[in-house]
Amino acid sequence: MSSDCIFCRIIEGSLPSSKVYEDELAVAFMDIMPVNPGHVLVVPKKHVRELSELDEDTGAHLFRVAMRIEKALRASGLQCEGTNLLQNNGREAWQEVMHVHLHVIPRFRGDKVKVHFGQQQARREELGLWAGQIKARLQP
Ligand code: DGP
């Protein structure tokens, strides 16, 4: 628990939220700035800033909860023809609230979402080089 963290305060109940799910490890509530109606955040109860600091069991649990919410969203009657699961880490990667969270975002034809990743085709040698750098640091 971090008293200056918005999500910790939501979890302990001192800030209001619209919760959709809660168990011993995680809580899920409506995002106050939804990309589309039905946008949910899945959050670990313990205060951890970024994914790289989170234990794998809790990370796997967050994904399990997100999958269940995704299914519920599709059946909810809200507009949801597809979904994006989004997880930002670090200010440079759009993380605004420094408490790990997984976005479950409903999408539908004609929604107003626009994201520009600025992708460019890579060369085969570059792909091999980058793959080697990552493989060298992968934990077994
Ligand atoms: P991110 O950029 O990945 O850190 O997303 C943070 C999200 O948290 C953003 O979509 C808005 C949401 N958010 C910020 N403050 C509050 C709050 O007080 N309550 C709720 N429910 N959501 C919040």
- Is 99 a known active-site residue? no
At residue 1, the pLDDT reads: 79
34 CA: nearest ligand 1 atom: 10
Q: Identify whether 33 is part of a domain.
A: yes
Cβ of residue 88 lying under 6 Å from some atom of ligand 1: yes
How far apart are the C-alpha atoms of 63 and 67, rounded to whole Å? 6
What distance in angstroms lies between residue 16's CA and the mean position of ligand 1's atoms?
13
- Print the domain residue range for 55: 6-113
Q: Identify whether 118 is part of a domain.
A: no
Is the pTM higher than 0.85? The answer reads yes
At residue 72, the pLDDT reads: 98
The radius of gyration of the chain's CA atoms, rounded to the nearest angstrom, is 17
At residue 110, the pLDDT reads: 97
The CATH number given to whatever domain includes residue 40 is 3.30.428.10
Q: Identify whether 127 is part of a domain.
A: no
Please tell me the total number of residues recorded for the chain in this structure.
140
What distance in angstroms lies between residue 11's CA and the mean position of ligand 1's atoms?
13
Q: Identify whether 140 is part of a domain.
A: no
Q: Identify whether 128 is part of a domain.
A: no
Residue 24 CA from chain centroid, whole number: 19
Task: Give the closest residue (by CA) to ligand 1 atom 23.
Answer: 32
At residue 3, the pLDDT reads: 79
Q: Identify whether 56 is part of a domain.
A: yes
Q: Which residues of the chain have pLDDT under 50?
A: none
What distance in angstroms lies between residue 33's CA and the mean position of ligand 1's atoms?
7
How many domains does the chain divide into?
Answer: 1
Q: Identify whether 19 is part of a domain.
A: yes
